[in-house]
Amino acid sequence: MFLDTDLINQKRDIELFNNVGNFDNVEGRLTVWLAISQTPRVHWEFEVARGEYNLDSLTLSPQKLTSWSGSNPQLVIDKPTVTFCGGARKQIRGYAEQALYGDINIGAHYFDFYLPNTDFMREATGGNLAATMQALDSKSFIVEINNDWSVELSTTQTAIDWLSPELQNRGSMITLKVRLFQTKQPSAKVQDLLKISLADANKIISDLCLMLSYINGGYVKSVYGIAKKFIKNDNDRISIEYVAALAETPLILPQEELGQSCIRHFGINDLLSFIRCFPAFQAMLNTVYWREKWVVLLEWYFQAIPRLTGRRRNVLLPVVANALGALLENLARIILFDEEKILTEECSKYLKVIKTQNPKRNLTLKERINLLLHCMCTSDQELVNNFVDIRNNSTHATSKKLSLTPIQQWEVVWKTVQWVDEIILWRIGYAGEFYRDRGLKTVGGIKPHYNLSSRNPIW
């Protein structure tokens, strides 16, 4: 299962194991492979060689499905599900959530993870990888994500081209490798290097993928990860040893369903600035309210953002307005109330005044949006009023006559999407130069409208 080839551009099935294995207490031939397209899945097939099993008593969840017990390292299928059993060859096959090879709890020095459908790389490179590399005078994209570890992003022009909406490709393909490695290497001594397990590294990358999903316009996560370590042989030469590997079937969106997120076209520096915010985002996820709400917030966001020509587009304004209303209301609730203690003193005083004025009722959506924008030092009262009217007409059975044309209503809605982008970017401390302008008549990026100094420094 230790794949020694680069998996970028991989769309076909990948064979992970084909040898003797055990299905509960039955021995036979076990084959495991990772399907990439259309949807990532771990498939397994077992053909009985020795032992007897009772089809009538076979459960949908086998207790144990592993490679032959004499092998080292051992492959383990996590949470296998049976979809078929029987036939002349006594076959059993199904799916699984994970396939693990080796010990994912043993320490290693660096890790490679492979992600499908990373459309943010196409946007950030402007579709031209060579020109982006030349502009940065670098052969890779490296970002430090904390004091000890950095990530390196690697892709190919073939992967960038496959993501192009003009080609209208469907399904999934691995389009990015993320390498997690030590930021500082104090000496050439292998024993001095930091080590973490593949399980710990996978947790870090999973959190990073929750953050990258926001700028990808759809869920993205690693489907295969591998841990490696440096070893010194008797001749004092350093070589690489494979420690463990992990194949997963995460929730991702197929390429044709990805939306247009806030990363502007040809904004690689903005992408790197965004990833540098990972410590703040990880601190967010360590709180109960963000951990429970982030995926729900992403769902609403994906419903609201526009989709490019040729993809499944959001064409019903009421659906978009409802998603944005729920999204803004929850963002305001978390930041203004759950996180009130980490607002700046000025924002806290302003919030206290509003609460004093309305001691017996909750703040309305309009009041929450205005308060949140006030804390960011940006506001537009007329646009807030127009959006709330559009959202109320979309939500309630009775509607209010609006003076806005359909095009003007869409302009208000897309401006509201930009508020959401600005709130999230402000919350994580994004200090990049630009992000996408959501206006109907504009193309490119705009400078941040918010003021990072209005955030409490402890964020």
Tokens of 7: 């998996």
Residue 228 in tokens: 């490696």
Q: What is the pLDDT of residues 182-229, one digit of tens each?
A: 987 655 577 778 889 999 999 999 999 999 999 999 999 999 999 999
> Which pLDDT belongs to residue 226?
97
pLDDT at 15 over 90: yes
C-alpha–C-alpha distance, residues 325 and 304, integer Å: 10
Looking at residue 313, what is its pLDDT? Answer: 62
Cα separation values, 339 from 214, 287, 328, 332, 342, Å: 21, 10, 15, 10, 6
As a whole-number percent, the residues of the chain with pLDDT over 90 amount to 58
Residue 127 has pLDDT above 80, yes or no: yes
Report the pLDDT value the prediction gives residue 34, as an integer from 0 to 100.
96
Cα 40 to Cα 21, 170, 223: the distances in Å are: 23, 13, 7
Helix, strand or coil for residue 121? Answer: helix
Identify which has the larger pLDDT, 234 or 366: 366
Predicted pLDDT at 25:
78
Q: Alpha-carbon dihedral of residues 349, 354, 355, 359, nearest 10 degrees?
A: 150
pLDDT at residue 428 is higher than 60: yes
Tell me, what's the pLDDT at 281?
A: 96
Number of C-beta neighbours around residue 306 at 10 A = 20
- Per the CB < 8 A criterion, the answer to whether 149 and 204 are in contact is yes
> 82 to each of 21, 216, 281, 333, 364, how far by Cα in Å?
16, 33, 38, 43, 50
The whole-number average pLDDT for the span 271-293 is 94
* pLDDT value for 56: 56
Lowest mean pLDDT of 262-266, 322-326, 426-430, 439-443, name the range: 439-443
Phi, psi for residue 157 in degrees, rounded to 5: -65, -30
What residue spans of 233-287 are helical by DSSP H?
Answer: 268-275, 278-285
3-state secondary structure of 109: coil
For the cut 80, the answer to whether the pLDDT of residue 73 exceeds it is yes
Give me the DSSP letters along 388-439. Answer: HHHHHHHHSSS----SS-HHHHHHHHHHHHHHHHHHHHHHHT---S-EE---
- Section 146-160 average pLDDT: 95
Note the pLDDT of residue 60: 54
As a whole number, the mean pLDDT across the chain is 88
144 neighbors 154 (Cβ within 8 angstroms)? no
Average pLDDT over residues 266-282: 95
Say how far apart CA 154 and CA 238 lie, in whole Å: 24
Tens digits of residue pLDDT in 59-70: 556 667 888 766
Q: What is the mean pLDDT of residues 118-140?
A: 92
| pLDDT tens digits, 298-351 | 999 999 998 865 555 667 899 999 999 999 999 998 998 888 666 777 777 777
Q: Is the pLDDT of residue 456 over 90?
A: no
> Does 181 or 50 have the greater pLDDT score?
181
Q: Mapping DSSP to helix (H, G, I), strand (E, B) and coil, where does residue 320 land?
A: helix
More reliable by pLDDT, 34 or 57: 34
Task: Write down the pLDDT at residue 312.
Answer: 59
Q: Given a cut of 60, is residue 58 above it in pLDDT? A: no
Which of the residue ranges 54-63, 105-114, 256-265 would you say has the lowest mean pLDDT?
A: 54-63
Q: What's the pLDDT score for residue 219?
A: 96
- The pLDDT of residue 361: 65
Is 178 within 8 Å of 145 (Cβ atoms)? Answer: no
* Global pTM value: 0.93
Instruction: Please give the Cα distance from 132 to 9 (Å, whole number).
Output: 19
Task: Output the pLDDT for position 448.
Answer: 92
| DSSP, res 56 | G
Residues across the chain:
459
The more confident residue out of 137 and 158 is: 158
pLDDT band at 454 (very low <50, low <70, confident <90, very high): confident
pLDDT of residue 191: 73
Predicted confidence band at 75 (pLDDT cuts at 50, 70, 90)?
very high
Contacts of 236 (CB under 8 A, 6+ apart): none
pLDDT in tens, 337-392: 888 666 777 777 777 777 777 666 678 888 889 888 888 878 788 999 999 999 99
